[in-house]
Structure 1
């Protein structure tokens, strides 16, 4: 407790004396004058009654140093001169004997006091400069020169001390493709690039000081409704449009993609909590691919639940709380079931059935996805053997992710698991979405080629919803394309959807791929797909996903 109190008072003193205000200077001047008067009186009295006033000479150091601290070198020199005057020749050493001070000694002493004041003043000026430099570096981001998170927190504390703060918003601006831009320009251009971005933000928000740079790609603005004619939504739209229109930087046109998140500044939340809120809103914007999200209280609960679920997945894998359901794949030409897609489900021991949409997106962002994928492969192998024993000879489709491909042991581990169950790579289709592939197309090309050469069938999932491009379709070793259900569900109602599906089927056949239509639910859809020469279909029209025992029974009765 004592150490904490000392630390607090030390910080208070350094802050107070480093840059004293008018009030502090006035009080300090009064104290200095008082010390001088007491010292002069002491010298007079001691000289009159005790014949020794030299001991009071040391009392001069205090006002000299105090003057140097408050008024810097000029104040120190003046205080030194005044101290010398107190010991001037006109004041006797001994009033009784009427002994005067030696003029040479007085001059030397005065010079010493003035030199002391000068040295102390210069020392404190240097310290003041260094303190300012240190504070400047601690409150500003070195990569942009803009105010940083610490500066922002102090500003938020100031705002929260105001009587009415209902009109304040914290706005986080995230530059989605920041890393790509910096890699193109070189990291030596980071400062200039960040300042260019900040300039755009300042121009739209009409603000000079309160644009903060947090972790390179994130910029923060404190918005006050009273200070702007435009609403926050309008300002964000204007800024988004400006970033979407490429601007010149380093003699190159720059296009920036942005996400915006907003939270209200409230008294009941400390700056760290406000910061967490605006980041949770940003995460929601990125996950849902929305340009602007304002924080809602359930985001925090959602994030906490996600963390809890992630923490429980490892145990659930070990405890076999997961299970698989199978969605059949039908050959339209022969009306035969030629495969099934393995879909993971979670039977939580306390919460019951948990939707894959609640845990799969979270797991895919972590290394846990490798453990979960290996579990799916092992379980698929076991249940594929059950199918074979039941006389059902089909392929199993398994979804994989970019993180799986980045695992250097992934392919070897697949081989081990499959061979341990006396199965072949050709018994499996590995599915990857367009969006997943485009995260790292070079790695995907290498790994998928290795898997294809090993005998696995490779499927492009959700075709048409991501970054469809003839260039990567030509280069990557796909065996089949799966056309997303958003194009399939209204194929018999909307001519444009039918044309898109027709083009996708023709494209797939041109590059040597089988085409699978997802989400088929009606007889009319099947009729249209047959006319377009689609190869395979999946969907609830055939059956809903089934656990292995039900799938075997259903297949025998099909």
Structure 2
């Protein structure tokens, strides 16, 4: 199967899907029926008897098998055989009047033409219904029904599921249907870049699926990298370049004879795992099934965990590149589960953001981070703390009031609290975001744009929002060693931010070479594992109080 078969060629009615040799047999049968009808009329005494009506059977079969052309040709042949050479009565030898056989020929042609036209309409309607059944009507891509049939038809196919992120925000920002257009463009781009034997389908919603034939065994990761590279280039939507993030899950054939639809489910599990761990690709392993069940069980315990004090904050310092001084730390949420142990945020934050539970969690994070910062400042550490806000937090009417109360209760200056918001969260409802930030104006809380470069910012909105800093996404920072494009994006982001009076943080600095490069490219601050991993508050304080050289690599804490 090709990646993008044409809509009208995939599904036809059963009589249209006969192999060529059987269609020839149907044609022969039509000819035999015409001749048999003519012979029946002659042998039973001529036209004056009713057996001439048996010719309609041959005409209808011709129309049924070959449409209007078949119906008309069969009608013409039958009408001529029962025409001027067929007597009214074979015993008396009386011949037909021209008006009689011409009228019969006209009736045959009318019936053949109408039957053929009806069959063609039915065929076209069946094709349209099949198209709807086997395609996504909004994007035009082959859909899940076609995908499942392809897997059943070739049980050796490997499956890749691609999750495209932040499509709801696209619809909310640009209007309904924009996400569908992005998915359509993504499908077309994958079709162009991947081998022709690769099937491209829309599994559901924001998920695309690829089917890979068994001859590509071992090459799947390379093909996924090719697909990721194709999706990394910006899409043009309403004349705005839009970047999309994709996470992939791969499921190979485990056992001969297994249900091929299991592979589709497994690829979806692996894609979700890649999404939660922010990885480009995850290959399915049987342990992921138990992990997925464990995650669902954990989510049911998240609400009680907040009440029972199981949530923890770890802190990752941010270092000024020019001096090596620690100017702040980002508060990162962890869950100390009594049975599972330390649960990373990727396993529960995404789900919490889909519910109102994210609001009380954010309130707790703000309170805990400010209390910890107040303790550090009393110990002589002149620094700030950053807290992440999600999209749903901007719909929380109590957010601004809670921040006011916590700043007052802890005595922390407002300028020492930094709220990190993603481009997507800002652009989802920029007016609401601006209103909340305006309510916080008298506190002097600072704003930074997180994951800069991965969303679809409008420079006009960036200019309106009181952001003091942008954080260049780690997907660009980590590629500056090898990717000229990533280097230029970081350089351009730094230049734009400086022109707008903002500072630039490089997040995801993982080695000394990257640290040197982001410094050369104009970044002001950096954070990442090369400098310091996220640590509990006591260990983070010890790290920050240690003297260290800079910009040499900072020793990692145990």
Normalised by the size of structure 2, how large is the TM-score?
0.59
- Answer whether contact 2:203 2:209 (CA < 8 A) is retained: yes
Q: Please point out which of 399, 404, 413 is paired with 1:411.
A: 399
Gaps of 5+ in 2: 1-10, 316-330, 372-384, 452-469, 475-489, 527-533, 551-556
What per-residue deviation string (whole Å, max 9, x for no partner) do you get for residues 161-196 of structure 1?
xxxx2xx42234556688879969x95986994476
Matches within 5 A, 1:74-473: 74-85=69-80, 87-88=82-83, 90-94=85-89, 99-136=94-131, 139-140=134-135, 146-160=141-155, 165=156, 168-173=157-162, 193-194=185-186, 197-198=189-190, 200-202=192-194, 205=195, 207=196, 210-212=199-201, 219-224=208-213, 226=215, 231-237=219-225, 240=228, 258-265=246-253, 268=257, 270=259, 272-313=261-302, 320-321=307-308, 355=343, 357=345, 360-370=348-358, 372-373=360-361, 376=364, 401-403=389-391, 405-411=393-399, 414=402, 424=409, 426=411, 434=420, 436-441=421-426, 446=434, 449-450=437-438, 452-453=440-441
Counting matched residue pairs gives: 469
Please identify the structure whose Cα radius of gyration is greater: 1
Query: Does the C-alpha gap of structure 1 residues 432 and 282 become closer, same or farther in structure 2, counting only changes over 3 Å?
Result: farther
Gaps of 5+ in 1: 1-12, 329-340, 385-396, 509-515, 533-539, 542-558
Q: Report the Cα offset of residue 66 of structure 1.
A: 1.0
SS in 1 for 2:299: helix
Query: Does the C-alpha gap of structure 1 residues 447 and 356 become closer, same or farther in structure 2, counting only changes over 3 Å?
Result: farther
Bigger RCO of structures 1 and 2 (CA < 8 A, at least 6 apart): 2
Query: Does the C-alpha gap of structure 1 residues 77 and 262 become closer, same or farther in structure 2, counting only changes over 3 Å?
Result: same
SS in 2 for 1:170: strand
Normalised by the size of structure 1, how large is the TM-score?
0.59
Q: Point out the structure with the larger helix share.
A: 1
Which residue does 2:23 correspond to in 1?
A: 25
Q: Report the Cα offset of residue 321 of structure 1.
A: 4.9
- Answer whether contact 2:13 2:127 (CA < 8 A) is retained: no
How large is the RMSD of aligned CA atoms in angstroms?
6.3
Which residue does 1:528 correspond to in 2?
A: 546
